[in-house]
Amino acid sequence: MTNIFDKCKRTHYSNEISPDFAGETVKVTGWVHEIRDLGGIVFVLLRDKNGITQITAPSKKVSEEMMKDIRAARKETIVTVTGTVQESPKAPNGIELIPSNIDVINVSQLPLPLDTTEKVDAEMDTRLDARFMDIRKHDVSAIFKIKNEMLHTVRNYFYDKDFTEITTPKLVASATEGGTELFPITYFEKEAFLGQSPQLYKQMMMATGLDSVFEIGQIFRAEEHDTLRHLNEALSIDAEMSFKSQEDVMGLLEDLIKNILNNVQDKCASELEDLGHELDVPSEPFPVVPYEEVIDIVNSQDVEMEYGEDLNRAAEKVLGETMGSYYFITEWPTAIKPFYVMPNSDDPEKSTAFDLMYRDLELSSGSQRIHDYDLLYNQIETKDLNPDSFEKYLQAFKYGMPPHSGWGMGADRLTMVITGVKNIRETVLFPRDRRRLTP
C-alpha cells in the first residue's frame, strides 16, 4: 500500500523552480488555485506557501484518463503533480509543468466559504470566520511571514544583548496597573483575572539580579473599543533593564525598531511586494517631542487639548500629520501615568514616561520605574489604590531593588506598520474583540 505521505512528498516548492530546470522532472504538491479549460488544453494553477506553479495539460501530450482527472479537479483540492519543466515566459516564475502523473490527495467541498483567487472580495467577518482558508491567499499569509520575521528579529536582538527571556503568569489575583479593564474568571473558589500586562512581574525580576529581561506574550484588556487599532487580546513585547535610564531604554527601543525594519526589508521583499507595501525605514534619529510641545502642536491645528489630558483620536491624527513617521513623546504629567512611573527629579509634576508613536498610532510606552519602596508605596496611595493588593509586588522593593527602566510594545500594532494593513485584526491569526470569540 502506497503511503499517502510518499504520494505528496514534493521535490520543490513553486519558487524553487526556474527556467534553468527545463527538461527536468519535478514533483509539486499544493492546492488547486484555478482551472482554465480551453478544450484542447487545460491550465491548472497549483498554489503552495511560496507561490504558484502552472500545470499545462495539452490533450496531445497527456493521456485521456489524466485529462479527465484534471477536468474533474475542484478548486482547493490538494493534488500532487509530477511533470516535466518547460520554459514559459508568461507563466509564474517563467515555467510550466507538463504532467506525467497526478495524485489527488484530498478533495475540497464546494461551494467554498470565500474566493482564494481574490476575484471576489470578502467582508472581514467572512474572512475571519474562514480564517484557515483566508490565510491561503498569498497577500494574507505574507502578513504572518513578516510578523514571523519581526518576532525572530526581536528574539535575536535581545539574545545578542544578553537579555534573559522570561514568561510571566497570565492568571493574576488583582489589577496589574490599578485599572478596572480586567476580564474576571473563576479560579477554583476564588476570583482571578486575565493579566493586562507583565509590568509588575518584570519589575520584580529586576530584584533577582538578572539585570535585563524580555517577554513576548499575550495581554488582555476588557476595553469596549470597536476600532481598527484595538483588540481585547493582544501580543506584547516587553523589556526591562536594571541600572538603565529612561534615555537608555528609549535608545534600545529605537535601535530594535530599526533592526526590525532593515531585516524585514532584506528578508521579506517578496511578501512586501505581495502586499504592495513600501517599508518606511528611517535613517535619522527619532525626534523627541515634550508633552507641552505636543499640546501646542495640537492646539495650533484647532484641536482642543489641555495640560493633563491624554491624546484623543483627533489629537493623534493632527500630531501624526505634523510629525511624520516615528517619534517619541516625553515629559508626560506624572498625574496621568501609572503609579510605578518615576517622577522627574527636577520637576516631579513631570514624569520620566515616554510613548513611541508611528504617525497617529501609539506603538510603545515606557519609563524609568520607581525603585524606592517608600515612594512607590506613597504613589500607590496617591492613585487611590490599596497597597495591600500589591503586597507581593512591594515585597521585592524592600531588599535592594536596583534603579530600572523599561517599556512595552504592541506587536500587532507594529505588524500593522510594517505590513501597511489598516485593520489590526488582519495581523492576528484568530483575533479577539468585543464581538468575536471564535474561531
Q: pLDDT tens, 252-308?
A: 999 999 999 999 999 999 999 999 999 999 999 999 999 999 999 999 999 999 999
Rounded mean pLDDT of 49-63? Answer: 94
The residue-averaged pLDDT of 208-212 equals 97
Pairing of the two strands 361-369 and 354-358: antiparallel
Greater pLDDT, 203 or 72: 203
**Range 77-106 average pLDDT:** 96
> What domains appear along the chain, each with residue ranges and CATH number?
4-106 (2.40.50.140), 133-427 (3.30.930.10)
* pLDDT single digits (tens) 193-202: 999 999 999 9
Q: What is the pLDDT of residue 282?
A: 94
d(CA 407, CA 219): 14
Q: Which pLDDT score is estimated for 174?
A: 76
In the predicted model, what is the mean pLDDT of the chain? 95
Beginning with the edge strand found earlier in the chain, give each strand of the sheet holding 354-358 in spatial order: 164-165, 212-220, 233-242, 404-410, 361-369, 354-358, 326-330, 288-290
Q: Give residue-wise pLDDT tens across range 119-133.
A: 888 999 999 999 999
**From CA 252, how far away is CA 249, in angstroms rounded?**
5
Residue 339, pLDDT > 70, answer: yes
Quick one: average pLDDT of 354-362?
97
Looking at residue 180, what is its pLDDT? 60
* 133-190 tens-digit pLDDT: 999 999 999 999 999 999 999 999 999 999 999 999 999 987 666 666 899 999 999 9
Average pLDDT, integer, range 8-25? 96
Q: Is a pLDDT exceeding 80 seen at residue 245?
A: yes
Percent of the chain with pLDDT over 70: 98
Gap between the Cα atoms of 67 and 185, Å rounded: 58
Which residue type sits at 248? Answer: D
